Structure 1
Amino acid sequence: MSSAHSSSNSNPAHPATGGQSAGSSPTFSPLYQQIKALITQSLQSGEWRPGELIPSEIELANRFKVSQGTVRKAIDELSAENLVVRRQGKGTFVATHHEARAQFRFLRLKPDVGDAQYPENNIVEAKRLRAPADIARQLDIKTGDSVYFIKRIQSFGAAPTILEELWLPGAIFKGLSVERVLEYKGPMYALLETEFGIQMIRAVENIRAVVADESASSLLAVELNTPLLSVNRVSFTYGDKAVEVRRSLYVTNNHHYQNELS
């Protein structure tokens, strides 16, 4: 039984209160937020796996003893956060990195002309290392802890466009072999989801303009000092746990970085 199911024994209709110190007022969580938290617990525990259909709104309402409207509002937020996907006439499914829409969530480089395409991957290097201090800090692990390091080039139409370095904590992805990384041709997040049950649910990126050094110019087939877009990303799974650092250099001759703000 999942933690979400166990929690439903307590009546969620009574608003939860946060920590309260002397002289402070209690903080109340709206009912739909409590149901959202219970559903998220079930997603995190693996009660419903990526790509699987979750119970209907009516079934969840009966389970948590709340109205269908309360469940719908909770699922609306989970859908907006890309944790679940609604499919007309079929129901609501756990989001998966194997879907194209999920892949493009984390790939913000768009072509200036034409539709977005997923790039071809070419692994330059893959090995286990001891975490440098800056990587350890971003992954919230100790300096010197085991990490997987992957360096790859992503190309569109045979044109090298993205040079990436990926850092993954060894303790979480224990068993990930260099051979597996080298033979895998699909999206990295789909591999990590399938083989380790890890879903990337959000990321924080820092972006700046840089110029190509000798290594980048050679690997990306551009001239030395060509302007590039540098993107440093930290990706998080459930529980706001950092599980990847990704450092990318983008060639923007025929592409641009696109984000939607709301």
Structure 2
Amino acid sequence: MTKKYQPDIVLDREASAPLHAQISAPIKRAIVEGALRPGTRIENEIALAKRLQVSRFTARQAIQTLVEAGLLQRRRGVGTVVAPQPHLQLIQLPSLHEEIQESGHESTTEILQYNHRRATEAIAKQLGIEAEASVVELERLRRRDGEPVAILYNWLPAALAPSREELETFGLYELLRKNGVAPTSTRQSVGAERPDKREARLLAISMRDPVLTIDRTAFGADGRIVEWGFHIYRADMYRYQSTVVAQS
């Protein structure tokens, strides 16, 4: 039987980065850099938790993050292995600003809010940081050829946040990449709702018109959370596309 890969991990229990992110980061790096070949078996959660002296939940969360990113696969009777074709295209995730421009349209941004604040318990949990840590809270209105297309709410650690002036010209992910903290994967959920009165006014639609919502957490190459966002899109001006790959 092929020996399972045991990642060389040193945990810093005093660091702000959650333990599951400290576990997943070196595995992800080894896959992206090609040190781990497709089909390589990964140490199972029970053995990983025991060896690193963490809870099984923490070990499972670390592995699940990589599964959701398309880098690992769970195979019945085999275990967890490196995916045959890891989704390395996720190394550069486009922002809505870039998507609009690449489709040949003009993209403009209106900054509705740009606030420095202390993280509440809820925000801290979403970002994987300590409560009361300094964060930047954003609310932006994105337009395509002058027509409102989306309201974008984002929260990110203050140390990573671009300036208000930069965000008026460039997309958030584009600026994060320029600052060396490129989002490489996301975890997100998609829904459909009715807008409230203010949202309908900003998007120039009625309260009866449905909107598309996306709740998204973005991760950097080291496994840390880069930003958390909640976006509201006009259903008549935006289509969400995704690719689903069946696990063998």
* TM-score normalised per structure 1: 0.57
> How far apart are the structure 1 equivalents of 2:201 and 2:29?
52
Residues 126 and 151, structure 1, Cα contact 8 Å, conserved in 2: yes
Residues 127 and 149, structure 1, Cα contact 8 Å, conserved in 2: yes
> How far apart are the structure 2 equivalents of 1:163 and 1:204?
19
Q: Structure 1 residue 239: deviation in Å?
A: 2.3
Question: Structure 1 pair 34/252, CA: closer, same or farther in 2 (3 Å)?
Answer: closer
Residues 114 and 136, structure 2, Cα contact 8 Å, conserved in 1: yes
Higher RCO structure (Cα 8 Å, ≥6 apart): 2
Which amino acid is 2:152 matched to? E
Residues 139 and 245, structure 1, Cα contact 8 Å, conserved in 2: yes
Counterpart in the other structure of 1:39: 33
Residues 67-89 of structure 1 deviation map (CA, whole Å, 9 limit, x = unaligned): xxxxxxx9x956x4126xxxxxx
Residues 204 and 233, structure 1, Cα contact 8 Å, conserved in 2: yes
Residues 106-159 of structure 1 deviation map (CA, whole Å, 9 limit, x = unaligned): 55xx89xxx575732221111101222222111111222211111101111211
Q: Structure 1 residue 238: deviation in Å?
A: 1.4
Runs (4+) off by over 3 Å: 14-17, 33-38, 115-119, 176-182
Larger Rg: 1
Answer yes or no: is 1:211 the counterpart of 2:194. yes
SS in 1 for 2:169: coil
Q: Structure 1 residue 17: deviation in Å?
A: 4.1
Percent identity for Structure 1 against Structure 2: 21
> How far apart are the structure 2 equivalents of 1:226 and 1:34?
41
Counterpart in the other structure of 1:239: 222
Residues 128 and 146, structure 1, Cα contact 8 Å, conserved in 2: yes
Counterpart in the other structure of 2:150: 162
> How far apart are the structure 2 equivalents of 1:127 and 1:34?
33
Question: Structure 1 pair 229/38, CA: closer, same or farther in 2 (3 Å)?
Answer: closer
Counterpart in the other structure of 1:185: 169
Residues 127 and 178, structure 1, Cα contact 8 Å, conserved in 2: no
Name the count of aligned residue pairs: 176
Residues 117 and 137, structure 2, Cα contact 8 Å, conserved in 1: yes
> How far apart are the structure 2 equivalents of 1:260 and 1:131?
34
> How far apart are the structure 1 equivalents of 2:239 and 2:156?
27
Residues 7-35 of structure 1 deviation map (CA, whole Å, 9 limit, x = unaligned): xxxxxxx977428xxxxxxxxxxxxx999
Question: Structure 1 pair 144/215, CA: closer, same or farther in 2 (3 Å)?
Answer: farther
Counterpart in the other structure of 1:82: 89
Q: Which blocks of at least 5 consecutive residues in structure 2 are unaligned?
A: 8-26, 36-81
Counterpart in the other structure of 1:123: 111
Q: Which blocks of at least 5 consecutive residues in structure 1 are unaligned?
A: 1-13, 20-32, 42-73, 84-94
Q: Structure 1 residue 217: deviation in Å?
A: 1.2
* TM-score normalised per structure 2: 0.60
